Amino acid sequence: MEAGAELNRLRWRCTRRAMLEMDILLGSFLDKHYAGLTPEQAAVFVALADMEDLELWPLITGKRECENSLQAEVVAMLRNVKVK
């Protein structure tokens, strides 16, 4: 798949989610930070976006521990996205 199409697919999966909260959070992250991620961080973000909202939410709120330090790094960036 071409890069443009792949990014569009990711955009769809970030902004057509079950909950408004996650549309806002992941959509803001994609716009503000995605382009600046390393390939490793980008892969982690794609995997996070593939998770269901109520699985991802506990990671963002710190209720569930991240699997590894790389995931923790991206989750920390997500948590700090300014949504307003």
Partner 1 sequence: MSKITIPVRKFDAVIVGAGGAGLRAAIQLSEAGLKTAVLSKVFPTRSHTVAAQGGVSASLGNSEEDHWHWHMYDTVKGSDWLGDQDAIEYMCRKAPEAVVELEHFGMPFDRTDEGKIYQRPFGGHMSNFGEKPVRRACAAADRTGHAMLHALYQRNVRANTQFFVEWMALDLIRDAEGQVLGVIALEMETGDVVAFHAKATIFATGGAGRIYYSSTNAFINTGDGLGMAARAGIALEDMEFWQFHPTGVAGAGVLITEGVRGEGGILRNSDNERFMERYAPNAKDLASRDVVSRAMVTEINEGRGCGPHKDFVLLDITHLDPATIMKRLPGIREISIQFAGIDPIKAPIPVVPTCHYQMGGIPTNYHGQAVNPDGSTIKGFYAAGECACASVHGANRLGTNSLLDLLVFGKSSGDSVIEAINADPKGLKELPADFADRTLARLNRLNTQKGGASVNETRLEMQRTMQKHCGVFRFKDMLVEGVSKICDIEKAVHLTEIGDKSQTWNTARVEALELDNLIEVAKSTMVSAEARKESRGAHVRDDAPDTAANPNGRDDEVWLKHSLWHREGNRLSYKPVNLKPLSVETIALKTRAY
Q: How far is the CB of 21 from partner 1 (least distance, A)?
A: 5
Closest CA to 47 of 22, 76, 13, 80: 13
If 0-12 CB within 10 Å is exposed, 13-18 middle and 19+ buried, where does residue 59 land?
A: buried
Q: For residues 22 and 44, which CB has a smaller minimum distance to partner 1 in the complex?
A: 22
Q: For residues 11 and 72, which CB has a smaller minimum distance to partner 1 in the complex?
A: 11
Q: Which residues bind partner 1 (CB under 8 A)?
A: 1-2, 4-6, 8-9, 11-13, 15-21, 23-25, 27, 52-54, 57, 60-61, 63, 79, 83-84
DSSP code of residue 65: -
